[in-house]
Amino acid sequence: MLLHHIGIAVKDIHRATKEYLLRPDFRQASDIIHDKVQTAKVMFLEVANDRVLWELVMPDGKGSILKGAIDKGGGLNHLCYEVSDIEEYCEKLRDSGFLLLHSPIEAAAFPNRRIAWLMGKDGIPIELIESENKNTSKAFS
């Protein structure tokens, strides 16, 4: 498993983006994308010389599953790992004490790649994303 991105829950994605882009080496890596699985508007940031992305996630409405996280102040929301075989790693994590919250489904931000969601007792949501292969199209398109 390779760390792919860090999810940060924010109340206002436009305001948060401006604040994060003040940090040294931070750059915008995508437009705002509507992720219906996360019930969120998301935007990716990249950091120079680092392969790990940052994903700002904002509730897409009053019924968003992110509302609780925002009510608690937002901040670190999830970790996303890239895996070669998503079913295999769902099973491996399940066997090591995680619950599968969402079975593999097409990713909103990454065409032709699937994501899955799990959580362990530490309460930190884990997202899995399939590795990119030669047949997949560019991320964020």
Partner 1 sequence: MKTTKTSQKERYILTVLGRIFREVFDNDSMEITFETSTDLIDDWDSVNHVKLVLSIEEELDIRFETGDVSYVTTIRKFVEVINRLQMQQ
Residues that bind partner 1 (CB under 8 A): 65, 68, 94, 97, 99-103, 119-121, 123
Least distance from partner 1 to the Cβ atom of residue 69, Å? 9
Closer CB to partner 1, 11 or 102, in the complex: 102
Contacts for 21 with CB less than 8 Å, ≥ 6 apart: 27, 28, 45
Closer CB to partner 1, 84 or 103, in the complex: 103
Q: Are 124 and 117 in contact (CB under 8 A)?
A: no
Closer CB to partner 1, 36 or 134, in the complex: 36
104/114 Cα distance (integer angstroms): 6
Least distance from partner 1 to the Cβ atom of residue 97, Å? 6
Closest CA to 128 of 74, 76, 89, 81: 81
Q: Is 36 exposed, middle or buried (0-12, 13-18, 19+ CB in 10 A)?
A: exposed
Closer CB to partner 1, 45 or 90, in the complex: 90
